[in-house]
Amino acid sequence: MAESTDSTPPSVTRRAGRTRHPVHTCHPEDTVREYLDRGWWEPETITNVFRRRVTAAPSAPAITDPANLTALTGAAPRTLTWSELDDHVIDLAAVLFAHGIRQGDTVAVLLPNTIALTATYLALWRLGAVATPMPASYRRHEISGILTATDADALITVGTLTDREPAHEALAIAGPDRTVFAFGPGVPDTAIALGDRVAPDARDRVRDYESGLKPTVNDRITICWTSGTEAAPKGIPRCHGDWLAVARGVQDGLGITPDSVVLNPFPMVNMAGFAAAFLPWLLAGGHLVQHHPLDLPVFFGQIAAHRVTHTSMPPALLTMLLQNEALRARADLSSLRTVGSGGAPLPPPVVRGWQEQLNIDVLNFFGSNEGVSLLGAPADIPDPTVRAQHLPHYAAPGVRWSTRLAASTAVKLVDVTTGERVTEIGGRGELRMRGPAVFAGYLPGTADSEPFDDEGYLRSGDVFELCGEDGRYLRFVDRAKEIIIRGGMNIAPAEIEGLLADHPAVADIAVVGYPDAVLGEKCCAFVVPRPDTTPTLESLVEHLRALEVASFKLPERLEVVETLPRNPVGKLLRRDLRAQL
């Protein structure tokens, strides 16, 4: 696809050393035609979706900053209507455009969950540029690697972030040929300030440039990054089409409407923040309340103040709230209708307790940046105990699921040893998927292996068990590479963690393997204790024996810790725990 004519004002020049980039697409054209012809993709971009929302409800509240924004960045929190958000987006686009950002350019983004972050994405996409988001906690090591891998043209950040000065850090990393933009206060003189209103003629220049663009649903709009829990992060390019396919599938389960208020606590830098909050909100409308970082008093305050209807919580917080009446008494949860959770096994008693005691549905999410997207919704799995541990098997014959993504996604389980397809109930294998939500491949130079099998299915690296009547459900077992092999027997850490999560002395838990000269590996349990308790290895073992767990799965070592190491998006860093052993 040809790039649009560059209409840079005469006084503006592109920084030395930077060349104009072509517009990158993601999927082969025949794949795009198939998805559009089948109705799996719709012929609209995220920018089109945003315009529809602005037109539908211009004066309705659209988005709110974190309540603690002043402590985070020094800026005052605010709420914008859809029309005001649209004005903010075009003002940002005008500044970016005036300083050389064009269609096909890649811009690194390091911002906390804020109005600024949301508007930055929309402004970049309005210009046809690509955002490569980074968790706000990233430092020089991660930032410099991403700038190099993407050949980013610029970086957008903030002047201050609690005790840091990210704009100063960015200037030192970016070098002379990359522009650094920053939201104030605390923006250095050598960075370009963002956030102020611009003159009407600056807006007109953006509109003129935009009118000459010919965006497609297959245009690359983001390069997100794998969590890097076990290896260096890999770049994941995504386009309008596959992001919206994921979002529509999640939206079917969430049931967000123009009257919904969505509180987003997960960093809006990859699947968790994009698919569980940002994009469903854009599709349906309503009010998005941003939160950063996870802070329980602030979180509870936002739920009460904004009468939040939908949010997400990690499994440990769900458990803590249900079991701690004193903590729950400080939180007004009466407006909540739905809570999404995932990233770790959900304890069945906890999901049942939220539904029966609090009248709040917990949705079981399982997804990856590459495009795995499974959603256990009450409409599909009404029993909360079943829903806690099971996800829909989209390939189950004769079953009609509530999410439209189910009918367009091909699924299979493959035995990790034999390579044969798993078809028997109780069989276990690697989950593989193919469909309109799955990405097209890693950013060149960031991955060492091919993510797809010979039939074009994404190798998820996740082991599931086929279960339920007629094989209608999938139960997560563990990451294939995290399986502990003790004397030739496979142990899934997530399975043991899920069982021990109900132990009265366990607040948080991780199970990892450690070397053994005879058996190869044994299990060690890292436990964060609940207040006023003292977990022991003997009590953990007895808890599992009472559940009639096979003896080879029992932990043989215990480490009591204050916290478990997690990456910026909350995933457990097992490699750090293994290093301690």
Contact residues for 199 (Cβ-Cβ < 8 A; gap 6+):
none
Of the residues 196, 221, 238, which one is the last residue of a structural domain?
238
Give residue 287's region: left, alpha or beta (phi > 0; psi -120 to 50): beta
8 A C-beta contact, residue 399 and residue 407: no
Same domain for 98 and 206, yes or no, is yes
User: Judging by beta carbons within 10 Å of its beta carbon (0-12, 13-18, 19+), is residue 5 exposed, middle or buried?
Assistant: exposed
Q: Tell me the C-alpha distance between 370 and 357, whole Å.
A: 36
Same domain for 411 and 496, yes or no, is no
Q: Tell me the C-alpha distance between 83 and 79, whole Å.
A: 12
- Reference 86, options 113, 63, 69, 109; nearest CA is 63
Same domain for 438 and 466, yes or no, is yes
Q: Where are the beta strands (DSSP E) in 415-457?
A: 428-434
8 A C-beta contact, residue 67 and residue 77: yes
Q: pLDDT tens across 36-83, in order? A: 999 999 999 999 999 999 999 999 999 999 999 999 999 999 999 999
Q: Tell me the C-alpha distance between 334 and 295, whole Å.
A: 19
- Give residue 2's pLDDT band: very low, low, confident or very high (50, 70, 90): very low
Q: Is the pLDDT of residue 488 over 70?
A: no
Same domain for 382 and 495, yes or no, is no
Q: In the block, which residue shows the tokens 């999404």?
A: 340
Type of residue at 431: L
Lowest mean pLDDT of 49-58, 68-77, 168-177, 545-554, name the range. 545-554
pLDDT of residue 312: 92
Q: Is the pLDDT of residue 519 over 80?
A: no
Give the residue with greater pLDDT, 567 vs 438: 438
Lowest mean pLDDT of 32-46, 254-268, 317-331, name the range. 317-331
Same domain for 487 and 475, yes or no, is no
Same domain for 501 and 536, yes or no, is yes
What distance, in Å, lies between the first and last C-alpha atoms of the chain? 53
Same domain for 455 and 525, yes or no, is no
Please tell me whether residue 416 adopts helix, strand or coil conformation.
coil
Same domain for 66 and 188, yes or no, is yes
Residue 9 maps to a domain: no
**In the predicted model, what is the mean pLDDT of residues 5-30?**
67
For the chain, give the number of residues: 581
Same domain for 68 and 117, yes or no, is yes
CA 110 from chain center: how many Å? Answer: 15
- Give residue 483's pLDDT band: very low, low, confident or very high (50, 70, 90): confident
Of the residues 238, 268, 287, which one is the last residue of a structural domain?
238
Residue 502 maps to a domain: yes
The helix (run of H) or strand (run of E) holding residue 273 is helix 271-273
Same domain for 487 and 416, yes or no, is no
Give residue 355's region: left, alpha or beta (phi > 0; psi -120 to 50): alpha
Q: Tell me the C-alpha distance between 141 and 232, whole Å.
A: 11
Q: In the block, which residue shows the tokens 């957008």?
A: 156
Average pLDDT over the chain, rounded to whole?
Answer: 91
Residue 456 maps to a domain: yes
8 A C-beta contact, residue 161 and residue 59: no
- Reference 321, options 305, 306, 299, 344; nearest CA is 299
CATH classification of the domain holding 228: 3.40.50.12780
- Tell me the sheet residues that pair with 458: 433, 452
- Give residue 330's pLDDT band: very low, low, confident or very high (50, 70, 90): confident
Q: pLDDT tens across 210-259, in order? A: 999 999 999 999 999 986 555 567 899 999 999 999 999 999 999 999 99
Q: What are phi and psi of 546, to 5 degrees?
A: -65, -25
Same domain for 115 and 226, yes or no, is yes
Of the residues 460, 481, 502, which one is the last residue of a structural domain?
481
Same domain for 329 and 462, yes or no, is yes
Q: How many domains does the chain have?
A: 3
Q: Tell me the C-alpha distance between 131 and 43, whole Å.
A: 21
Q: Print the domain residue range for 219.
A: 29-238
Type of residue at 179: T
Please tell me whether residue 169 adopts helix, strand or coil conformation.
helix
**In the predicted model, what is the mean pLDDT of residues 369-388?**
94
**In the predicted model, what is the mean pLDDT of residues 345-371?**
92
Query: DSSP assignment of 119-145, as one string?
Result: HHHHHHHHTT-EEEEE-TT--HHHHHH
Q: How far is CA 465 from CA 79, 103, 343, 392, 423, in A?
A: 45, 45, 17, 12, 10
